[in-house]
Amino acid sequence: MANQLQIIDENAMAELGGQLAKVVVPGTIIYLEGDLGAGKTTLVRGFLRSLGHIGAVKSPTFTVVEPYSLDHNKFCYYNELEDVVKLNSDDQSLNSSNVDLNVDSNSSEQKIYHFDLYRLEDPEELEFMGIRDYLDGQAIAFIEWPEKGYGVLPKADFIIKITHQKQGRKVELLPYSEYGTVMVSKLTSNRLD
Ligand SMILES: Nc1ncnc2c1ncn2[C@@H]1O[C@H](COP(=O)(O)OP(=O)(O)OP(=O)(O)O)[C@@H](O)[C@H]1O
Ligand SMILES: [Mg+2]
């Protein structure tokens, strides 16, 4: 199955994050599922580093969310996928707020939020922290332990499910929106090049 990958070690996991960075467009919401130590944060670290982030990328287990600002121009597949982005902005069910995805397209900053909901006791806490302001249709979000936010979190464009193997990890890429399907198929076909 093309959407299932074998990722042999930490470096390969970070590399997968880098490949993800080439296909993810603004507004994308990604759930990261997998046990403690599965490699979720390693993937996000690879994503951020490949886009020029220098410095630590830690699991925001206690802070719930860690924000990053990266150069919007580094998102080189944005134009190529613009039709898909526009289609996404018409689909109001995909985003909690009705924000035009192209509104900020001249801004030089791309916001990325890394959530870790492990310590959340109630999904309502996400309302109190103003999750809707974070996920404004333009920001990219990676969400570890999304099951803890069930009912309040907006739906994912795709889910990355990581499972421990004897050696390395199995990574499944599961699209949940039309937009997610395009990104997942781009990612898997890029890997074949
Ligand atoms: N594909 C892989 N194969 C083997 N080890 C890996 C792989 N990916 C990551 N690791 C290792 O697994 C460990 C845990 O990684 P990481 O912190 O990314 O997990 P996590 O899923 O974010 O966990 P948590 O739920 O606790 O936040 C790290 O030591 C990392 O080096
Ligand atoms: Mg983590």
Residue pLDDT, tens place only, 88-115:
555 544 443 433 444 444 568 999 999 9
pLDDT tens by residue, 120-174 = 999 999 999 999 999 999 999 999 999 999 999 999 999 999 999 999 999 999 9
Contacts of 36 (CB under 8 A, 6+ apart): none
Domain count, the chain: 1
The domain that holds 103 is classified in CATH as 3.40.50.300
Sheet containing 65-71: give its strands across.
4-7, 169-175, 158-164, 29-33, 140-144, 109-116, 65-71
pLDDT tens by residue, 5-16 = 999 999 999 999
Q: What is the DSSP annotation of 18-63?
A: HHHHTT--TT-EEEEE--TTSSHHHHHHHHHHHTT--S-----TTT
- Angle between helical axes of 10-21 and 178-192 (0-180°, round to 10): 120
Domain that holds residue 89: 4-192
What spacing in Å lies between the alpha carbon of 41 and ligand 2's midpoint?
4
Q: The pTM is what?
A: 0.88
pLDDT tens by residue, 15-40 = 999 999 999 999 999 999 999 999 99
What spacing in Å lies between the alpha carbon of 10 and ligand 1's midpoint?
7
Confidence of residue 82 (pLDDT cuts 50, 70, 90): low
| Ligand number nearest to the C-alpha of 32 | 1
Pocket test of ligand 1: the residue of 16, 19, 42 to mutate, having most ligand atoms within 8 Å of its CB, is 42
Judge if the beta carbon of residue 13 lies within 6 A of ligand 1: yes
Judge if the beta carbon of residue 169 lies within 6 A of ligand 1: yes
Pinpoint the alpha helices (H) of the chain: 10-21, 40-50, 82-90, 124-128, 131-134, 178-192
Q: Which two tokens stand for residue 1?
A: 């199955």
Nearest CA to ligand 1 atom 14: 37
What spacing in Å lies between the alpha carbon of 103 and ligand 2's midpoint?
31
Residue 110 DSSP SS3: strand
Residue 6 DSSP SS3: strand
Vertex 182 angle, CA 162 and 110, to 5°: 80
Provide Rg for the chain, Cα atoms: 16
